[in-house]
């Protein structure tokens, strides 16, 4: 009927950290809100539950073990997964790449992907053994925060700026569903990564027959939309949360999907998949003969660049945060025509999603403002509770193809960020003139 994952996901683990439980249904997807709610309601009327003491269990022995009425099977998840990956990607071409001296670094962050990385990159693809860093899973992730982003994987980002940088680097999170992709001197933004995978999917065996469609979460950059338009395939814009992709995947409407929070995947699974994304990139590098910075620069030249950056404003008083966001929603109709640096707002709304598969409607998913130069600002309020609220501002500045697309995202979006701050009236209402976090 499904499976439980005992995991801290991308959060710190161990006695002082997180301990989470994920439930995935038989299709592999996350449980729907309806099912989760039914389980919760049922749990409130439980009068008893049964337990049994099996004594110490041997989790290292593959195969079936019988304990009275209970049949326990220990499986090797690595082998089955690696076989599946071999059916999707051109392992022969990637092996050639490594045998030609190509160097990579994969940071498993002492989480679950270490043994997978060892099997895939080192054993099956011939990467050097030192390609896998922090490859031994530890119960507390070695005290680290296993989230692949420029802050928590800062060492890897720094390495890619040095003379000793390998050709390619990547990291994954605690339970292996997130990914970060790096080339020499460059981190590929998640929105760009999704767009580049979509634009080059025809080069990869598992996707060579074409994509049914693609999807991204609403705050994710619209880089993939431009690719979908060129390919003549649908592009779905969903609320934040992987389960919205699951419906589209189940219905065969999409083959690739992703979100700005370092999650990417395809129709091979019903979850985001970090190692899959790394293999997809390796396949593209092997077949195109280009390095990461060249692939990215060529993509921007072809489709333009959607420069992406997120500004977080922490508002200590959660009621003030709520009021500020309510005010922004109420003013959404009046934003059109307002100038924003060198452009003006030509379209604005409160995002609501009508699921084309199950007909459900999700309202109030964030405020969107599209600018006349193709840029976009998205506002969302998160973490409202007793401990304050955070206004997240997703900045997307569009630079058309043919123009100079290079430069650091934080600098290229700084002016747009100041306009967004003033639209949200953060200085007037909350006394905040600078973001508390730039991601």
Which residues are known to be catalytic? 9
Tell me the chain's radius of gyration from C-alpha atoms.
Answer: 23
Q: How far is the CB of 173 from Co ion (least distance, A)?
A: 4
With CB under 5 A as the rule, give the number of residues binding Co ion.
Answer: 5
**284 class by beta-carbon count within 10 Å (0-12 exposed, 13-18 middle, 19+ buried):** buried
- Find the helix packing angle between 274-288 and 190-200, rounded to 10°: 50
Rounded Cα–Cα distance for residues 265 and 133 (Å): 23
Residue span binding Co ion (CB under 5 A) among the ranges 37-45, 173-181, 205-213, 219-227: 173-181
State both tokens at 162: 């040095």
Tell me the CA distances in angstroms from 321 to 163, 240, 381, 416, one per residue in order: 45, 20, 8, 21
Q: Is 10 in the site for Co ion (CB under 5 A)?
A: yes
Candidates 9, 113, 134, 193; binder of Co ion (CB under 5 A) is 9
State the minimum distance, in angstroms, from the CB of residue 74 to Co ion: 23
> If DSSP codes are grouped into helix, strand and coil, which group holds residue 343?
strand
b/e burial code for range 23-41 (CB count within 10 A of at least 16 → b): ebeeeebbbeeeeeeeeee
Judged by beta carbon, residue 175 or residue 259, the one nearer Co ion is: 175
Q: How far is CA 312 from CA 11, 240, 302, 373, 391, in A?
A: 19, 17, 31, 24, 6
Smallest separation (angstroms) from Co ion to the CB of 124: 24
The closest residue (CB) to Co ion is 9
Name which of 262 and 351 has its Cβ closer to Co ion: 262
As measured in angstroms, the least distance from the Cβ of 386 to Co ion is 26
Smallest distance from Co ion to CB 105, Å: 21
Reported as type and span, the H/E element at residue 392 is strand 388-399
Nearer to Co ion, 213 or 274 (CB): 274
First to last CA, the chain: 39
Residue with smaller CB distance to Co ion, 9 or 189: 9
Determine, following the binding rule CB under 5 A, whether residue 134 of this chain makes contact with Co ion.
no
Phi/psi of residue 89, nearest 5 degrees: -115, 160
> Given the complex with Co ion, which of 148 and 191 has the nearer CB atom?
148
Smallest separation, CB 261 to Co ion (Å): 10
Output 173 or 396, the one with its CB closest to Co ion.
Answer: 173
> Cα(338)–Cα(327) distance, rounded to whole angstroms?
16
Looking up tokens 């990869």, which residue turns up? Answer: 204
Interface positions, 325-384, toward Co ion (CB under 5 A): none
Interface stretch with Co ion, choices 8-16, 127-135, 155-163, 198-206 (CB under 5 A): 8-16
CB 178 within 8 A of CB 146: no
Non-local (6+) Cβ contacts of 317 within 8 A are 388
Between 141 and 303, name the residue whose CB sits nearer to Co ion: 141
Q: Out of 90, 119, 147, 177, name the contact with Co ion by CB under 5 A.
A: 177
- Interface pick for Co ion out of 175, 192, 259, 260 (rule CB under 5 A): 175
Instruction: Report the nearest approach of Co ion to the CB of residue 290 (Å).
Output: 30
Nearer to Co ion, 148 or 183 (CB): 148
Residues 42-101 that bind Co ion (CB under 5 A): none
Alpha-carbon gap, residue 129 to 110, rounded angstroms: 16
CA distance 288 to 268: 23
- Say whether residue 173 binds Co ion (CB under 5 A): yes
Q: Where are the alpha helices (DSSP H) in 32-179?
A: 33-44, 77-88, 91-99, 113-117, 154-159
The pair of structure tokens assigned to 187 is: 């981190």
SS3 content of the chain, % helix, strand, coil (to 5): 35, 25, 40
Between CA 308 and CA 314 the distance in angstroms is: 20
Residues at the interface with Co ion (CB under 5 A): 9-10, 173, 175, 177
């Amino acid at each position: 009927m499904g499976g439980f994952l005992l995991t801290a996901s991308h959060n710190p683990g161990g006695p002082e950290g997180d301990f989470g439980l994920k439930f995935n249904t038989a299709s592999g997807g996350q449980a729907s809100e309806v099912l989760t709610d039914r389980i919760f309601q049922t749990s409130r009327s439980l009068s008893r539950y049964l337990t049994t003491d099996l004594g110490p269990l041997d989790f290292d022995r593959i195969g079936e073990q019988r304990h009275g009425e209970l049949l326990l099977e220990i499986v090797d998840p690595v082998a089955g997964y690696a076989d599946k990956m071999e059916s999707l990607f051109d392992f022969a071409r990637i092996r050639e790449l490594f045998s030609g001296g190509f160097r990579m670094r994969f940071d498993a962050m002492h989480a679950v992907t270490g043994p997978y990385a060892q099997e895939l990159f080192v054993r099956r693809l011939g990467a050097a053994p030192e390609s896998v860093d922090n490859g031994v899973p530890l119960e507390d992730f070695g005290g680290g925060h296993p989230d692949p982003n420029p802050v928590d994987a800062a060492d890897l980002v720094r390495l890619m700026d040095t003379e000793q940088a390998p050709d390619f680097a990547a990291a994954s999170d605690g339970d292996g569903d997130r990914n970060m992709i790096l080339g020499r001197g460059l981190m590929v933004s998640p929105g760009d990564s999704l767009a580049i995978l979509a634009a080059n999917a025809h080069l990869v065996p598992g996707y060579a027959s074409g994509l049914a469609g693609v999807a991204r979460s609403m705050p994710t950059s619209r880089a993939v939309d431009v690719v979908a338009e060129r390919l003549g395939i649908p592009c779905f814009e969903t609320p934040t949360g992987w389960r919205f992709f699951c419906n589209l995947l189940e219905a065969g409407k999409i083959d690739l999907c992703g979100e700005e929070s370092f999650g990417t995947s395809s129709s091979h699974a019903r979850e985001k998949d970090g190692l899959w994304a790394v293999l997809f990139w390796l396949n593209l590098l092997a077949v195109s003969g280009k390095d990461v910075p060249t692939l990215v620069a060529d993509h921007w030249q072809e489709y333009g660049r959607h420069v992406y950056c997120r500004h977080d404003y922490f508002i200590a008083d959660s009621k003030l945060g709520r009021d500020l966001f309510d005010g922004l929603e109420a003013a959404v109709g009046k934003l059109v025509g307002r100038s924003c640096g060198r452009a003006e707002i030509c379209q604005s709304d409160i995002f609501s999603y009508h699921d084309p598969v199950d007909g459900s409607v999700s309202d109030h998913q964030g405020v969107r403002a599209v600018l006349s130069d193709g840029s976009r600002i998205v506002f969302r309020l998160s973490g409202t509770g007793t401990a304050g609220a955070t206004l997240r501002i997703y900045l997307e500045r569009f630079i058309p193809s043919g123009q100079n697309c290079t430069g650091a995202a934080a600098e290229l979006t700084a002016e747009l960020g100041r306009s967004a701050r003033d639209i949200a009236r953060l200085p007037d209402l909350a006394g905040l003139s600078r973001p508390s976090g730039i991601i």
